[in-house]
Amino acid sequence: MDLAIHLKSNSPIPLYQQLTEKIRTAILEGRLQPKQKLPSSRSLAKSLMISRSTVIQCYEQLASEGYLETRSGSGTYVCHQIPDEWLNAQPIEPVTNQIAQDLTLSQFGKNLISVGSLEVSEPGFEISFRYGNPANGHFPLQLWRKFLNRYCDSPTALLNYAADAAGHFPLRVAIANYLRRSRAVCCNPKQVIIVNGSQQALNLIARLTLNPGDWLAMEDPGYLGARKCFSSQSANLQPIPINSEGLNIDLLTQCNRNFKLVYVTPSHQFPTGVTLTLRQRIALLQWAQTTGTLIIEDDYDSEFRYGEQPIPALQGMDKSESVIYVGTFSKTMFPSLRIGYLVVPDSWISLVRNAKWLCDRVTPLLEQYALTDWIIEGHFERHIRRMRKLYNLRRQVLIRALEKYFGDRVTILGANAGIHVMVRIETGLCDRVILQKAAAVGVGLISAREYYLKPQDQGEFIFGYAQLTEIKIEQGICKLSQILEISN
């Protein structure tokens, strides 16, 4: 078989990466067909005049991505089911190491290369438990369009430059009212700064507070969007393990480091789902006050708790301006809206407003106006109530299916909340193989491995359930148990 592969031995891109890219492209462009057998690692290595371990590394990488499968005693094949959406798709260009050599890059630019790809290519699995999206199909788009149209009819003011970088004031009022009422956040509207999602909030805080070499404490496992943002500022990340009470505050305080920041998701720790207990909240706030450390509270999905009292935000208990609160409309509306907010202490308001202005001046106004009315007229909380019921149902179906098909080999972790659940499954297989086998039958999964600062196989997986119908959830779990050969 002639794969027409030419590798550049003088390129800064490692040979195995070049080879992986070539084979992936050949699959995506249809030059390698589903079920087609690949040359053995030995013969491909010989024909390309490279080492066999380079080919093995490449095959393993593509197998973990779901492009190849290895049949013992038979060889390596292109997976029989490559999702249609992947075919002919333009592969995401890896951030090229060539640029890394370029001396014109700032430290930040260089950091972004080691941070790795930030874009998520969402493969089109038939049943995807991959976490992230809420049930976008249930969002009342027709109604939302009417709210947008209200302001399309009289747009002049909206088209001007002259807008407050901190956001449309009535929206800040609406958010402050909502947060005081439903999250016990202690704030006035001026403290609310509108940004393009939590990601921008984290980015602005990181840039405003972190110097290269500063120490920051991160939940471990923890949120990649936050971790990558802090790493890009050359911060040193100290992983703090999670226990049944949430962030392990004893370990945090024993670190004896001069932390600038600590990043936490107290309502529903991402990804384990544990809620930070009251005892630990008090300990964290006292420690932050004594050490002068700033706490970033990321309250990304607290609206969704099922059958349990909502947990008030940490920010509302803070008496020493130690907490910056971050919220988002990505889960309660839809992610591409790109509206989120920060609640900052009074002394921070003008600083954060300036940082936001320098970044992109202002979050698009049309959506801010529409969202203000949406909240004031009750649609925001109505949609949350409807989705809470739906997610609760889907969560129960998922948990019942996991218990039915996996029996006592599965442990459900975390609180009864959010739009994902982390579970531990005992299979005796490594996570990569499980993902590969699942992908081969069209089931998308995420291993919790990547969320640990020191990746480790724990048999822990994240199941996002918001987007899947109850039938698909049951089918997906049934398929998983079959391929993992678990009969209960």
For ligand PLP, give the closer residue by CB, 280 or 363: 363
Q: Nearest approach, Cβ of 298 to ligand PLP (angstroms)? A: 5
**Structural element, H or E, at residue 464:** strand 460-464
Residue from 330, 416, 427, 447 that binds ligand PLP (CB under 6 A)?
330
Pairwise CA distance, residues 77 & 289, whole Å: 58
Q: Which residues of 89-104 are buried (b: 16+ CB within 10 A; e: fewer)?
A: eeeeeebeeeeeeeee
Is residue 152 packed enough to be buried (19+ CB in 10 Å), middle (13-18) or exposed (0-12)?
Answer: exposed
| Per-residue x/- track, 126-165, ligand PLP (CB under 6 A) | ------x---------------------------------
Q: Does 300 bind ligand PLP (CB under 6 A)?
A: yes
CB of 314 to ligand PLP, least distance (A): 15
Nearer to ligand PLP, 293 or 328 (CB): 328
Give the Cα separation of 425 and 414 in Å (integer): 14
Q: Which is nearer to ligand PLP, 61 or 368 (CB)?
A: 368
| Buried/exposed code over 127-149 (b: 16+ C-beta within 10 A; e: otherwise) | bbbbbbbbbeeebeeeebeebee
Element (H, E) at 280: helix 278-291
C-beta neighbour count of 73 within 10 angstroms = 5
When asked if residue 280 is in the footprint of ligand PLP (CB under 6 A), the reply is no
Instruction: Provide the β-strand partners of residue 247.
Output: 242
Closer to ligand PLP at the Cβ: 105 or 453? 453
Instruction: Tell me, residue by residue from 241 to 270, as one string, x for binding to ligand PLP by CB under 6 A and - for no binding.
Output: ------------------------x----x
The site string for ligand PLP over 12-41 (x = CB under 6 A, - otherwise) reads ------------------------------
- How far apart are the C-alpha atoms of 103 and 162, rounded to whole Å? 38
Does residue 328 belong to the site contacting ligand PLP (CB under 6 A)?
yes
From 62-70, 120-128, 327-335, 352-360, span contacting ligand PLP (CB under 6 A): 327-335
How many residues of this chain bind ligand PLP (CB under 6 A)?
A: 13
| Under rule CB under 6 A, residue 467 binds ligand PLP | no
Q: Pairing relation of β-strands 259-264 and 294-298?
A: parallel
Q: According to the binding rule CB under 6 A, does residue 170 interact with ligand PLP? A: no
Name the residue among 485, 391, 476 with its Cα closest to residue 442: 476
Three-state SS for 349-380 is: HHHHHHHHHHHHCCCCHHHHHHHHHHHHCCHH
Check binding of 59 to ligand PLP (CB under 6 A): no
Instruction: Tell me how far, at minimum, the Cβ of 218 lies from ligand PLP, in Å.
Output: 12
What's the rounded Cα separation, in Å, for the pair 65 and 57? 13
Q: Under 8 Å CB-to-CB from 267, ≥6 apart: which residues? A: 275, 276, 299, 301, 302, 305, 310, 311, 313, 417
Q: How far apart are CB 385 and ligand PLP at their closest, in Å?
A: 21
Q: Which stretch binds ligand PLP (CB under 6 A): 116-124, 328-336, 425-433, 462-470?
A: 328-336
Could you give the count of Cα atoms lying within 13 Å of 269 in the half-sphere of its Cβ? 29
Distance from the Cα of residue 53 to its chain's centroid: 33
Nearer to ligand PLP, 131 or 369 (CB): 131
335 binds ligand PLP (CB under 6 A): yes
In the shown chain, the binding pattern of residues 69 to 108 toward ligand PLP, with x for contact by CB under 6 A and - for none, equals: ----------------------------------------
Taking the least distance from each CB to ligand PLP, the nearer of 63 and 295 is 295
By CB under 6 A, tell whether 298 contacts ligand PLP: yes
Does 67 sit near ligand PLP (CB under 6 A)? Answer: no
Q: Looking at beta carbons only, is 23 or 284 nearer to ligand PLP?
A: 284
Q: DSSP string covering 418-455, please?
A: SSEEEEEE--SS-HHHHHHHHHHTTEE-EEGGGGSSS-
8 A C-beta contact, residue 375 and residue 333:
no
* Inter-axis angle of helices 379-406 and 169-183, nearest 10: 50
Q: Which of residues 68 and 352 has its CB atom nearest to ligand PLP in the complex?
A: 352
- Residue 73: CB minimum distance to ligand PLP, A: 41
Nearer to ligand PLP, 125 or 223 (CB): 223
Strands (E), 16-151: 68-71, 75-78, 127-128
Site string for ligand PLP, 179-208 (x = CB under 6 A): ------------------xxx---------
Please give the span between the terminal C-alpha atoms of the chain, in angstroms, as a whole number. Answer: 44
Q: What are the residues binding ligand PLP (CB under 6 A)?
A: 132, 197-199, 223, 265, 270, 298, 300, 328, 330, 335, 340
